[in-house]
Amino acid sequence: MIPGSEDSFMLTQIKFGTSGWRAVMAEEFTFANVRRAVDGIARYVASQKPQGARVIVGRDPRFLGETFCAMAAEILAAHGITSLVVAEPAPTPALAHAVVHNKVDGVINFTASHNPPEYNGIKFSTPDGCPALPEVTKKIEAEIVSGDNSDSARSRPAAPAELTSVQYGTLDPKPSYLKRLGEIIDLGAIRKANLRVVVDPMWGAARGYSDELLRSAGLQVATVHDYRDVLFGGHAPEPDDHLLEDLRKKMRETGAHIGIATDGDADRFGIVDADGTFLQPNYVIALLFDYLVESRGWKNGVAKSVATTNLVNALAEFHGVELHETPVGFKYIGELIMQDKIAIGGEESAGLSIRHHVPEKDGVLAGLLCCEAVAKRGKSLGEQLKAVCNQVGSYYPQRENFRLTPEVKAKFTEKLRSDPRDFNGREVSQVVRTDGLKLVFSDGSWVCYRSSGTEPVVRVYTEARSKKGLEALSAAAKHWIFE
């Protein structure tokens, strides 16, 4: 019996955002709604490949993940689709690599990434390993509605009582993924530098990945939070500055040169320098771009989301590399990777990938590349950042979230549609609407507003050329919302 096959249930509108559908478990993320979502994905896959379709089913370590995977396998089988179920939690980038490596027709990944433990989610990636683009997710959403309209919960296609070997298989994405990372990363250089590394998988899907690969190369590696905890220590599994104190402590104990962390599904990274300083993802993306140009000679292009630091812009100009600025959502950067138009692409929210790799955020790769850069350059990341800023100037980025009352939100939404030429006394030199509203000023500073589609929150990104300038711009950005 498939969970969620009750005779009646409240229908929730399931919308896929920048990284799939996410919701709070037992509220909107129910067995019934999961069944509807997977049924919609199965309908979409079957419409693209009526015969012989195969789909990988994976998960992060969250509560009930195993149950959701088994449930998805049954639903896929009901549509004549063979599922390849991953038994253990696996990083999102490992699943993306497995899609391409095994030439299958997509992956259903039960993950809520960096969201708090009460959340879960479903992410669908297409046969190219890329997060499903809006044209695909719109079709899946339409298939969900079609299923709702044509079948009651009771009359949806019933899965067979027992799955046959044709309808069900298993898959371990780890060996081929680690092999690929070993081809990308110069493990010999890291070993030669005798780098000491601490790895923090934050109780997540990357347990046994970065540390195993580094140890296989003879490196000294220590770990923290290296066990399953569906509550992720009681907070969101997000590798942000304020949640990495245990990593810092272990670094001090072991005299580590670098600390690398990943979030719940390992598509995001967190990097701590030898002195305990947390490196903003903005800076990590810029540093690795600079490093790849130097170490690989890759100058085919670089991509960043509209909300990511203009330090990347400055380095692109310095190196003579074409710059691509995309909407927020790694799927847009993934498309450029597949077209081999960029050496690296990244988002300020701690996601990046590189040329000849998966078109998906890879937090494991990011941490290992940072290890390589420290080893080969013989300098800490902080020292490398200082050298880069000496070449192209300093940039100070920041992101803030503001919760709005209904009245303020209505007024501010109208303001976002305007074409402002004055911003709290500053002359606006450029208005960019790639995603949200970005206002660029003559001194190179900027502010970008993006409204949440799911809650009354506006995300505000600011960047200035000095700390004092950032403080003033941040205050002005907040005033513009509430004035």
- Asked if residue 167 has pLDDT above 90, the reply is no
Quote the mean pLDDT of the chain: 93
What is residue 447's DSSP assignment? E
Residue entry with tokens 């600390």: 259
12-16, 340-344, 385-389: lowest mean pLDDT where? Answer: 12-16
Enumerate residues 6+ apart whose C-beta is below 8 A from 362. Answer: 91, 93, 96, 266, 267, 352, 353
Evaluate the CA torsion angle 168, 203, 181, 307 in order and state its sign: positive
Strand 323-326 with 344-347, pairing = unpaired
The crossing angle, in degrees rounded to 10, of helices 281-296 and 381-392 is: 80
Q: Residue 7 above 50 pLDDT?
A: no
Handedness of CA 268, 273, 277, 281 (dihedral sign): negative
- Name, in order, each residue with C-beta under 8 angstroms of 350's C-beta and a sequence gap of 6 or more: 239, 263, 268, 269, 270, 281, 284, 363, 366
> How does pLDDT run across 403-441, given as a tens digit for each residue?
999 999 999 999 899 888 889 889 999 999 999 999 999
Mean pLDDT of 76-92: 96
Task: Give me the helix-helix angle, 65-78 and 31-48, nearest 10°.
Answer: 40
Q: Which domains does the chain have, with CATH numbers?
A: 21-172 (3.40.120.10), 175-392 (3.40.120.10), 396-482 (3.30.310.50)
Q: How confident is the model at residue 156 (pLDDT cuts 50, 70, 90)?
A: low
pTM of structure: 0.93
Is the per-residue pLDDT at 38 higher than 70? yes
